[in-house]
Amino acid sequence: MHDLDVGGATRANSLEEHWMPFTGNRDFKINPRLVVKGEGMYYTDHKGGRVIDGSSALFCSPAGHARPEIADAVSAQLRENSYTPPFQLGHPGSFELARRVAGLLPEPLNHVFFVNSGSESIDTALKIAMAYHRANGQAQRLRFVSRERAYHGVNIGGVSLAGMVKNRETFPVTMPNVVTMRHTFTGKELFCDGQPQQDGVELANDLERHCQTYGGSTIAAVFVEPVAGSTGTLVPPVGYLERIREICDAHGILLVFDEVITGFGRLGAPFASQLFGVTPDICTMAKALTNGSIPMGAVAVRDEIYETVTDASPENAIEFFHGYTYSAHPAACAAGNAALEIYRSEALFDRAAELAPYFKDAMMSLRDHDLVTDIRTIGMMSGLEVAHDGVPGRRGQEMQKTLFWNGCHVKFTGDTAIVAPAFVAERAHIDEIVDKIRKTLDQAK
Ligand code: PLP
């Protein structure tokens, strides 16, 4: 029984009905934090406070909040054509968006399948891998490899691949045939700017060991986030991704990069694959695809995967029995096209690359604080780890709330703050975010 007063519009029990995701519902409803407006780098909370966004929401909005270009494009689309079934019908916006996305990806990732979220992109990638191997006469490849401390969303496919205990322990019935490699955070190189130097090949050789144990010819695909995002910006050591690629090639295994966070400029290149010079066979994305304005995700595959799957069926047949009612929704495509146009016309990926050194120095300035145990940065993304208070995660949760009331939003996972400002940020915005984090660290118990 909690009331909420938003500009005088109080309704009894108005918070009770919504069961909120990944939220301490009881605690939240006692002390809610509602955003009633977003503009550029700032949110406005329901009490009228200004809150700077230190995490581009959830890494979704590199062009800042409430961009009028996107709102106008979506509004125009909804007036023109609000929905077209995506099965055996189409509309122009999806083809334009697929061309734009393919144009940002390295060759030969030229075919794009649209979905509605990052989690759906993972399920779709799993099914594309199965469909490809079946069409290619390798239907015995039914095993998948992922990594500890991975986050691949919350659908059963993503949870099966995930390496975060809280996301798994309640749901033990997941996909069989998934084996995990070690995560890439060794703790040997704390306060690391960019890629750690040590152990890259050694850690990647976990995949080779799985090939020796299970048979490389039984493995369909390996899923990795090029930089593990949700578990705190875990940057792969030098040589790691290259060695994973090499082992995949040697055994005919598909390499899937989950670029739901790293896609669309977060690391200062269009995709992480370009930054690291390693091209996957399949790339998943979501979040910044529409600047966070409309739910949408996508899976890009290299030409040979598309051609193998489509050529395996008779000409007039459906080739891939998969898709969502809202795949390539016209409003989402309009939002995606408008967002990608903003990124292009404002050269925002270059701007992210230019801003990254300033951002890194600003984040690293926090290393002198007693509570800070590590800081990792790459591009416009950083993980700031805070000592736990005896109960892992408790201090992080409290800090996230205090920080909000100090006027800054940052996403926390456990005791790690994941700071990832929008690319439209000015240096003064970065200073403001870091100052507010320092103030909050000073107040932390
Ligand atoms: N994959 C990665 C790497 C993510 O970071 C996320 C979400 O944070 C997902 C998948 C799931 O995306 P969604 O929450 O849109 O389903």
Atom 1 of ligand 1: nearest residue by CA position: 152
Residue 262 CB–ligand 1 contact under 6 Å: no
| 351 C-alpha to ligand 1 centroid (Å) | 24
Residue 132 CB–ligand 1 contact under 6 Å: no
Segment 203-210 long-range contacts (CB within 8 Å, at least 24 positions apart): 203/237, 203/240, 204/239, 204/240, 204/241, 204/242, 204/243, 204/244, 204/247, 205/243, 205/247, 206/181, 206/182, 207/145, 207/181, 207/244, 207/247, 207/248, 207/253, 208/247, 210/145, 210/179, 210/181
Atom 6 of ligand 1: nearest residue by CA position: 153
Per-residue pLDDT of the chain (445 residues; tens, 9 = 90+): 445 655 544 554 589 999 999 999 999 999 999 999 999 999 999 999 999 999 999 999 999 999 999 999 999 999 999 999 999 999 999 999 999 999 999 999 999 999 999 999 999 999 999 999 999 999 999 999 999 999 999 999 999 999 888 888 898 888 999 999 999 999 999 999 999 999 999 999 999 999 999 999 999 999 999 999 999 999 999 999 999 999 999 999 999 999 999 999 999 999 999 999 999 999 999 999 999 999 999 999 999 999 999 999 999 999 999 999 999 999 999 999 999 999 999 999 999 999 999 999 999 999 999 999 999 999 999 999 999 999 999 999 999 999 999 999 999 999 999 999 999 999 999 999 999 999 999 999 7
Q: What value of ipTM does the predicted structure carry?
A: 0.99
| 187 C-alpha to ligand 1 centroid (Å) | 25
Given its phi and psi angles, is residue 57 left (phi above 0), alpha (psi -120 to 50 degrees) or beta?
Answer: left
- The domains found in the chain, sorted by start residue, are 33-63+347-443 (3.90.1150.10), 70-345 (3.40.640.10)
| 317 C-alpha to ligand 1 centroid (Å) | 32
Asked if 268 and 353 touch (Cβ cutoff 8 Å), the reply is yes
Atom of ligand 1 nearest to the CA of 228: 3
pLDDT value at position 167?
86
Strands 254-258 and 282-285: parallel
| 411 C-alpha to ligand 1 centroid (Å) | 13
Atom 13 of ligand 1: nearest residue by CA position: 118
Rounded Cα gap, residues 216 and 126, in angstroms: 17
Q: What is the DSSP code (8-state) at residue 288?
A: G
| 318 C-alpha to ligand 1 centroid (Å) | 29
